[in-house]
């Protein structure tokens, strides 16, 4: 049965392609050969590239429509080319992130990305850099441990997938506007400082250099372009405003374009053929001919 069914209780426009999925599954099981000489099973094993975002609340909020989240901008840049998975955890530091890395890594376990490589961003440090004697001391992680923890996260993902491991991109913690954050928390003094965030950003860059990874220096990207209005880059002193999110997105894309051109939006294939390339009289052949 190849009918398209509307999901019960779903809003208008939400549909389940149950029949089409079943048909594709049958073809894969048969292992038939396409016009390109590629087995149907091999073709079906290919999938969209994945970009998994692993971080704290700045990642958790990265799809915010209110603040024009940086991940929403990434999703827009990679329309119909990648699947983005958000694994942001508000308040988390690298110590606690170690308990989640197995699940995060599992998203790269199946299928073969169309371009041969996925991306994993690791974006921690804003909470690790909480002042050890401040009101957020429970989130504080000493800088030496912070570096070691980042290294362990990287090593786990690499060992979990070997030669098929995703391209890891580190993102440093951004700056913080102390006065705004203290006001947001209802405290006289901030439990985070601009200087500490800078130290942890530098430590993140050191880990990237040691591991041979590209790094997005969000601290410098935001601080250097604040134009005397660092406060305006955050909606509460710590979490990014629309302008802050735009600057982070631009910094990330700058690293991808400069260091990872093979993973840039223009380098990735679209998922499925363009509608105008589909032969209306023999549409199945159009899909068989498309490698992805």
Q: Give the separation between CA 260 and CA 2, rounded to whole angstroms.
A: 41
Rounded distance between C-alpha atoms, residue 208 and residue 125, angstroms: 14
CA 81 to chain centre: 14
Query: Can you read off the two tokens belonging to residue 38?
Result: 């590629």
Decide if 96 contacts 149 (C-beta within 8 A).
Answer: no
Q: Classify burial at 1, counting beta carbons within 10 Å of its beta carbon; exposed 0-12, middle 13-18, buried 19 or more.
A: exposed
Distance, C-alpha 176 to centroid of its chain: 22
Instruction: Judge whether 218 counts as a catalytic residue.
Output: no
Strand partners, 87: 54
Among candidate residues 76, 155, 229, 236, the one labeled active-site is 236
**DSSP secondary structure code for residue 30 in this structure:** H
186, 230 in Cβ contact below 8 A?
Answer: no
Cα 97 off chain centre by: 15
Catalytic-labelled residue, pool 57, 68, 220, 286: 57
Assess contact for 196 and 175: CB atoms under 8 A: no
In the annotation, is 223 catalytic?
Answer: no
Distance CA 191, CA 278 (A): 58
Active site residue 35: no
Residues recorded for the chain: 292
Q: Which of 67, 177, 223, 239 is catalytic?
A: 239
Catalytic residues: 57, 236, 239
């Amino acid at each position: 049965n190849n009918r398209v069914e509307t999901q019960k209780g779903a809003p208008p426009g939400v549909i389940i392609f149950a029949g089409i999925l079943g048909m594709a599954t049958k073809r894969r099981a048969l292992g038939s050969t396409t016009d390109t000489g590629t087995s149907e099973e091999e073709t079906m094993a290919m999938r969209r590239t994945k970009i998994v975002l692993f971080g704290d609340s700045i990642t958790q909020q990265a799809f915010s429509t209110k603040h024009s989240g940086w991940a929403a901008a990434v999703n827009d840049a990679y329309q119909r080319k990648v699947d983005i998975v958000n694994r942001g955890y508000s308040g988390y530091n690298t110590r606690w992130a170690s308990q989640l890395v197995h699940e995060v890594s599992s998203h790269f376990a199946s299928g073969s990305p169309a371009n041969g490589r996925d991306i994993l961003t690791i974006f921690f440090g804003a909470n690790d850099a909480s002042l050890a004697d401040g009101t957020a001391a429970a989130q504080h992680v000493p800088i030496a441990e912070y570096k070691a923890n980042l290294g362990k996260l990287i090593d786990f993902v690499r060992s979990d997938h070997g030669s098929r491991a995703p391209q890891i991109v580190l993102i440093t913690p951004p700056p913080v506007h102390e006065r705004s954050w203290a006001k947001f928390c209802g405290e006289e003094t901030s439990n985070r400082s601009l200087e500490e965030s800078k130290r942890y950003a530098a430590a993140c860059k050191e880990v990237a250099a040691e591991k041979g990874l590209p790094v997005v220096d969000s601290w410098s990207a935001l601080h250097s372009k604040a134009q005397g209005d660092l406060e305006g880059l955050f909606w509460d002193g710590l979490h990014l405003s629309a302008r802050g999110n735009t600057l982070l997105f631009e910094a990330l894309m700058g690293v991808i374009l400069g260091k990872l051109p093979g993973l840039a939006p223009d380098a990735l294939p679209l998922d499925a053929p363009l509608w105008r390339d589909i032969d209306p009289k023999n549409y199945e052949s159009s899909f068989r001919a498309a490698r992805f």
